[in-house]
Chains A and B, each alone.
Chain A
């Protein structure tokens, strides 16, 4: 295994280490020069013509808000048309016809949750002789290795120790796992995931019913500890909006054409192994390797569909780790944006206009909006509080009539629609206990902006740092050890 892994390591290093389409190079020289030139030009113009430059900036920001808002509303409406592309009957494929399925579970310091994870993996409804489950454990992760040794693992679940090397990230471990996979299909689960028992069967049925260029089916994600804290409730509302409404809308609008872009979720994405290998697996330097992979699949003319099955995850219940997690996501999105925008015309050619717009809106503009939100909130607050003062007059001069009304429309209607949409999705998709918490969504937006700024700073200071999310925090402290005791007794 070790020698295989080393071979794999070497080949992927060759693939990703110097890749122009990889995140190891955060920004190319051209991108850096463009950025520096833009900043310098803005500063000089700001000095020479401050009011005009500020007005132009505000116009650009307003246009970004308006276009992003209209785009997301369009997606929400499209989401009404369908929930899932691949509504598959789990029993439509006979047991004898089921192919070998590989499940990759990357683990890092997950000793506490491992026994529960093993139990969940054992409960997957799929013939064990056609199931290969690989627990991907880092070499220096003694805690997880020790926990794995204590568990009674059935023959189809095996730990796999990662070879030494850098970067020690989840996508690198997945690439090693992909190399060792012997299944026709492969799926990624996180340590805390609780997929619906028949999800693999549904995935197989979906793949069999969909065209061959659909190389990935994405399951819905939601949280089993959604009622643990206010934050988990708001997080669950956010996930419901994304996975129940926006993503199906995106998948629906893209399903009739190749070369579409869909940002994949971190887990529960099922792939055809052969195609995944052909596109090079995951970028080990990208901290949101899932989003990047979605873009690369689109650029290769391949498609993604939604799977009518939910995987229950653990939501981060406390604010600090939540912001860390969010900062990683935003950092990864920014990495992905910089990677794929190195040659914008090539991206446009490969994704087509619609896919290109999807990419700009979902990756570029979404990050920009959450980064800009605090600035615009501050500007609005100063404007309201400073009524009748010179500040008020100055702000008014920055907003000529068309800009003023566009900004007003964007501010009032945009915020209201997204605010309302949170409540709507809760009722529409049967999360009715969360509806009242949807009223607090604006608080969540503030947290998101904190996370976004933390992500931007992290991208500048430490681009490959993986801010790991601690799992198992929703469990009572004793639950992990009780589960562990149960598993070891069985030994």
Chain B
């Protein structure tokens, strides 16, 4: 079974003999990986690896560029190859090719980043990977485990695969929704460009810009939600565009379904869902007046906002808090309300807000694509203006307006060292502008064709595709994908190393029994315990286990063998820390074995003076409990709201 690859070589001396195998000999230490590139041998190795990997991308792009030619010429070959090519010619449409290429790129990209341990480089990626898992494999499994600040759709999509230990531990299960979304986004962007321009070349340009974007290729390899959000945006825009020409109720339903899916992936999409309403109403009103506008608005809103309402009902039922005030208390405008001007330089400054998000977008999509996309947008505005038939294409620009506004209002922030605003933070917001850049670049290419002086018009689309492929290959091989910079060097990026070290130490000294720990404060440690050191999901009693957690906290000496408490209150103070530091009773049974970072690890040693570490019979790792008994308390298991 393959493991997450980065471990701490410096701690190997402390690893118990039985655990040495688990540590993953020869694995790459993450934080030093990029620094060590300075050495010429390492450079050479990395360069060869890069060439090998990029050859896949290159091959894909070459097929993308030349596939119509290959298609026709090679189909004439005799023998099985000819049969295959003839079959492809008859059955494989462009959409099929786009889907196949996107899937191939998705898998290759996942394999590459997974091999380097980057799929869980984001702190959030590690936490997200555990959420779906605990629905099926924690001490208190059940849908109530979905209840966190993040929206649940991707976790629900993971459920069919996350129960499998192998797929959970190698990360495929957690990345699966993003990979699926990536392929879907490529297909629908192709269809959108084709629908708008009636040009297959334009469709290929759009799809290529999207599926060769290094940042998106990285992000789709992780459990992060941005790729799903990009997919929802693309699919909903496509059906909104179709709707303006077909006036079909089915297209409203499909558009609203995509929007609803988006609202269950990221909160930003709630704003997007609202923006769709006036567009749909306008199209209907232009077509048949008020009555149709009202009917369409109802039909769209009914479904598009169903996810938001369901989520609020869910939170009302589980937490008695439909608006998740615990979330607002920690992570958004309330959190940033007290921030200083230095911390939020874009707040109430239109230009800095624009510059911050604009620079993020430019770095994410690349300057060349940004320029061609902008020119394409100008061409689109000049040709289409505000025609109802193509109005929906502007919806792809909504993320820009949204994030610009968010930064201006100071509801959230983005940090860019290039602009002197600190370590990378939230730069992944730029991913949402990839579809717009791709679509308008695609619009730009055929818009050049009517120019009379332009020679070699037929080479326009293949040329564009080649340039895009080249830029993307260079971008993804020479440079770190922009969003990966946040994971590697951004704020909080050291958390994974500390978590790794903590997990490694505990696994070396663990001899059975339950561990009292909190998700909120030590997710990285917990993640590595589960994925790399084969800890049972049920060996961890956490703040997501409701009454079991309360009982363990009240009497740790009778329930657990280890207590992990973290004094860091960045994500909210640890309940274990708050409770146990004010009490003395448990100290008679536990001793502090290790402090790593802000986390203290206490081991059960029995009543003081009655023995040592082994005086208490070793507890077996808890076995599988009856799900039905646990689910009887489904609605009461999660205690985040009480913090």
| Chain A interface residues (CB < 8 Å from chain B) | 80, 396-397, 400-401, 404-405, 408, 412, 416, 420, 423-424, 426-428, 432-433, 435-436, 438-439
Contact = CB atoms under 8 A, between A and B. Distances in A.
Contacts of B631: 400-401, 404
A424 B306 CA distance: 15
Q: Looking at B142, B310, B634, which has the most chain A CB atoms within 10 Å of its CB?
A: B634
Nearest to A416: B306
Interface in B612-638: 627-628, 630-634
Nearest to B247: A427
A424 B250 CA distance: 8
B544 interface: no
Contacts of A396: 632-634
Given A416-B306, A432-B292, A435-B295, A424 B253 contact: yes
Contacts of A404: 631, 634
B291 interface: yes
A46 to B, nearest CB: 21
A-B pairs, top 7 by smallest CB distance, nearest first, are A435-B295, A432-B295, A428-B249, A400-B628, A401-B631, A427-B249, A401-B628
B157 to A, nearest CB: 15
Interface stretch (B68-76, B206-214, B296-304, B602-610): B296-304
Nearest to B306: A416
A428 to B, nearest CB: 4
A435 B303 contact: no
A424 B291 CA distance: 15
Contacts of B294: 432, 435-436
Nearest to A438: B298
A405 B156 CA distance: 13
A436 B298 contact: yes
Contact of B298 (A397, A428, A435): A435
A435 B296 CA distance: 9
Contacts of B630: 401
Given A423-B298, A432-B292, A432-B295, 19 more contacts: A80-B250, A396-B632, A401-B627, A401-B630, A404-B634, A405-B143, A423-B299, A427-B252, A427-B295, A428-B249, A428-B250, A432-B294, A433-B291, A433-B295, A435-B294, A435-B295, A436-B298, A438-B298, A439-B298
B27 to A, nearest CB: 39
Contact of B632 (A80, A397, A416, A439): A397
B291 A420 contact: no
Q: Looking at B252, B303, B631, B633, which has the most chain A CB atoms within 10 Å of its CB?
A: B631
Contacts of A400: 628, 631
Given A396-B632, A424-B249, A412 B295 contact: no
A260 to B, nearest CB: 26
Contact of A427 (B299, B628, B633): B299
B298 A401 contact: no
B142 A420 contact: no
16 contacts: A397-B632, A400-B628, A400-B631, A401-B627, A401-B630, A412-B310, A423-B298, A423-B302, A424-B299, A427-B295, A427-B299, A432-B294, A435-B295, A435-B299, A436-B294, A439-B302
Contacts of B303: 420
Contact of B295 (A80, A408, A420, A426): A426
A10 B291 CA distance: 56
B306 to A, nearest CB: 7
A423 B294 CA distance: 12
A405 B627 CA distance: 12
Interface in B139-163: 142-143
Nearest to B310: A412
Contacts of A426: 295
Contacts, number: 51
Interface of B: 142-143, 249-250, 252-253, 291-292, 294-296, 298-299, 302-303, 306, 310, 627-628, 630-634
B538 to A, nearest CB: 16
A438 B303 CA distance: 13
A80 B292 CA distance: 20
Contacts of A408: 143
Nearest to B292: A432
B253 to A, nearest CB: 6
Contacts of B633: 396
Nearest to A419: B302
A156 B10 CA distance: 104
A420 B295 CA distance: 12
B553 to A, nearest CB: 22
A427 B296 contact: yes
Nearest to A403: B628
A420 B628 contact: no
A404 B635 CA distance: 12
A401 B631 CA distance: 6
B551 to A, nearest CB: 18
B302 A420 contact: yes
Contacts of A424: 249, 253, 299
Contacts of B249: 424, 427-428
A235 B630 CA distance: 45
Contacts of A420: 302-303, 306
Contacts of B302: 420, 423, 439
A436 B298 CA distance: 7
B220 to A, nearest CB: 28
Contacts of B296: 427
B321 to A, nearest CB: 15
Nearest to A432: B295
A433 B310 CA distance: 27
A273 to B, nearest CB: 39
Contacts of B634: 396, 404
Contacts of A427: 249, 252, 295-296, 299
Contacts of B295: 426-427, 432-433, 435-436
Nearest to A427: B249
Nearest to B248: A428
Q: Looking at B296, B299, B303, B310, which has the most chain A CB atoms within 10 Å of its CB?
A: B299
B520 to A, nearest CB: 26
B618 to A, nearest CB: 31
Nearest to B143: A405
Nearest to A387: B635
Contacts of A438: 298
A434 to B, nearest CB: 9
B568 to A, nearest CB: 35
B291 A432 contact: yes
A413 to B, nearest CB: 10
A359 B633 CA distance: 40
Q: Looking at A405, A416, A424, A432, which has the most chain B CB atoms within 10 Å of its CB?
A: A432
Contacts of A423: 298-299, 302
Contacts of A397: 632
A404 B630 CA distance: 12
A420 B249 CA distance: 12
B152 to A, nearest CB: 13
Contacts of B142: 401
Nearest to A412: B310
A400 B630 CA distance: 10
A438 B299 CA distance: 10
Contacts of B253: 424
A420 B306 CA distance: 10
Q: Looking at A408, A427, A428, A435, which has the most chain B CB atoms within 10 Å of its CB?
A: A427
Contacts of A439: 298, 302
A265 B209 CA distance: 55
A424 B295 CA distance: 9
A206 to B, nearest CB: 26
Contacts of A432: 291-292, 294-295
A428 B254 CA distance: 13
